[in-house]
Structure 1
């Protein structure tokens, strides 16, 4: 399955919706996409992974690298995830303690 990416703005936050599979073949595309957004000055990012059917360690590495780059510029990253399959991946790897994972996009108050 291919990787599909789309971007929208919600308040001051950039939201990237990801669907399909994130693996060693598609992760470079995701990395380039997110890197381009950060290079354009995005500092408040949400990545919606509710459409992701599969994610391997390469994909998790992309998320970790993105978080690291955002922290360097005092930015923020929210992972939007309500799918049990994806939540289990974050829990099994301990990354649920690293990422701000929310079941839906947090409102801008």
Structure 2
């Protein structure tokens, strides 16, 4: 179970690139990398999941938690690069209704 999380900061956004599997074992690492990005008011975070090969419910929970943190600071969160399989997972769980998913 491996995960790689790379964060690049620009003037307007934090761009987060995630590769590997996001599951019960790796989700805490992802959460620990994302949480500091939510501390500043008006943080704008774009998470690219094009390199994610597997995502379970614990991983989905990380994104919902981060969304709540970002919203409480008047920031934005956008999830991009979803494979068809991941987009279906976000859809059937209803996350696409509460989160900006592309």
Residue in structure 2 matched with residue 75 of structure 1 by the alignment: 75
Matched length: 101
2:85 and 2:10 map into 1 onto residues whose CA distance is 26
User: How does 1:1-109 map onto structure 2 within 5 Å?
Assistant: 1-39=1-39, 41=40, 43-102=43-102
TM-score using structure 2 length: 0.91
Deviations 1:2-60 (CA, angstroms, capped at 9, x unpaired): 00011113440111000100000000000111112223x27100111111001001000
With normalisation by structure 1, the TM-score equals 0.86
Distance (Å, rounded) in 1 between the aligned partners of 2:82 and 2:36: 26
Q: Segments of 4+ in structure 1 off by > 4 A?
A: none
C-alpha displacement at 1:99, in angstroms?
A: 1.0
> Which 5+ residue runs of structure 2 have no aligned equivalent?
none
The RMSD of aligned alpha carbons is 1.4
